Structure 1
Amino acid sequence: MKSRSAKLLTTLAAVVMAGSALAACQSTISNKEDLLSAAGFTPKVASSPAQIKQMATLPPHKFTQLSKNGKTFYVYPDPTVCKCLYVGNQQSFESYQQMAFQQHLANEQTMAAMINQQVVEDEQWDWGPWGGPWGGAWGYW
């Protein structure tokens, strides 16, 4: 009876973790799509079977460069969230790259600030219970 309960709990935990991972992926994709729109990309909903089929030939959530009549376009297919194709020109793509870089820097700065908040000064930390940072059971210090 216990093993059946354990299996059920394990399965439930796996489902919850998978759902959390999917939500995190969709959140990341949604953030990227906000940047795409802000950079000048236009979402074109794949509403016909032909559009859906053609969009499926592109790598999902990745940029593809296309040329038409001597002009360069960038497309970003999203079969997951909006089921659409974001279309932009060279200027849109460069704007997106700049905005994504700025967002990356902001995220790095936020992470560094969070780490700095968690740093504990040596004077506040009592190494005694751990045998000290210079030996004890942790000889590699």
Structure 2
Amino acid sequence: MFTVAAFAVAGAASTPASAASTKSIDRFEDSLAAAGFEARPATTPERQAMLARLPANKLSRRAAGDDMLYVYPDPKACNCIYVGDQAAYGELRKAQAAKRIADEQQMTAEDYADPAWSWGAWGPWGPRWGRFGFGGWRGW
């Protein structure tokens, strides 16, 4: 009985993580499409074999003659690969950098969003001389 209950709890606990992971993959695939990557379905046995050779949900490079192409395989959701050239990869990197900057700006705005917040209610704060020398924290 305990074993069944433990597996039930473990299964329930892993569901939100896998849902978050799926959401993250979906967002990344949307970013790939917006950057100019093309989705190519694995509709033949040969394409299925090539899809299986690639690390799932990981962007990698593959040479195609004199060109370097970027490939993102998704064997579960679309059973396809996303393929982009150097220009599409550059657009993807630019979009990722813009998102990172926007996320940092959002976090900074949230840091200062509550002007009534005060550390004073939590007691003394910051570095000071303590019994172990400089660097102890007040109140700890």
Look up the match of 1:37. Answer: 33
- The offset of 1:107, in angstroms, is 2.2
Amino acid at match of 1:17: A
Look up the match of 2:118. Answer: 121
Look up the match of 1:88. Answer: 84
Change (3 A) 1:24 1:70: same
Identical-pair percentage: 33
- The offset of 1:139, in angstroms, is 6.6
Runs of 4+ in 1 over 4 A off after TM superposition: 4-7
Q: Going by fraction, where is helix more abundant, 1 or 2? A: 1
Q: How far apart, CA to CA, are the structure 2 residues paired with 1:52 and 1:112?
A: 46
Consecutive unaligned residues of structure 2, counting only runs of 5 or more, are 131-136
Consecutive unaligned residues of structure 1, counting only runs of 5 or more, are none
Q: TM-score, normalised by structure 1?
A: 0.75
Amino acid at match of 2:64: K
Please give the root-mean-square deviation of Cα atoms over the aligned residues, in Å: 2.8
- The offset of 1:109, in angstroms, is 2.5
Change (3 A) 1:133 1:24: same
Secondary structure of the equivalent of 1:67?
strand
- The offset of 1:116, in angstroms, is 3.8
RCO comparison, higher one (Cα < 8 Å, 6+) = 1
Look up the match of 1:72. Answer: 68
- The offset of 1:83, in angstroms, is 1.7
Look up the match of 2:50. Answer: 54
* 1:93-130 deviation line (CA, Å, top 9, x unaligned): 1001111111122223323333444782135x2x4xxx
Look up the match of 2:134. Answer: none
Q: How far apart, CA to CA, are the structure 2 residues paired with 1:44 and 1:16?
A: 34
Secondary structure of the equivalent of 2:61?
strand
Secondary structure of the equivalent of 2:53?
coil
Q: TM-score, normalised by structure 2?
A: 0.75
Q: How far apart, CA to CA, are the structure 2 residues paired with 1:19 and 1:118?
A: 34
Change (3 A) 1:69 1:114: same
- 1:103 matched to 2:99? The reply is yes
Amino acid at match of 2:65: N
Q: How far apart, CA to CA, are the structure 2 residues paired with 1:101 and 1:54?
A: 31
* 1:60-97 deviation line (CA, Å, top 9, x unaligned): 22222222232221111112322210011110010011
Change (3 A) 1:88 1:116: same
Amino acid at match of 1:111: M
